[in-house]
Amino acid sequence: MTPAMPPAPVSGPESVPRVRALLGDAFDSVRATVADNNPDISYKVRGHIVDEAVKFVATAARFPQWCVVPSRSWT
For 6-55, what is each residue's pLDDT tens digit?
555 555 556 556 788 888 889 999 999 999 999 999 999 999 999 989 98
Q: What is the largest CA-CA distance in the chain?
A: 47
pLDDT digits (tens, 9 = 90+) for 58-75: 888 888 898 888 877 755
The domain locations on the chain are 18-62
Residue 68, amino acid: V
Reduced to 3 states (helix: H, G, I; strand: E, B; else coil), residue 67 is: coil
Whole-model pTM over 0.75:
no
> What confidence score (pLDDT) does residue 37 get?
95
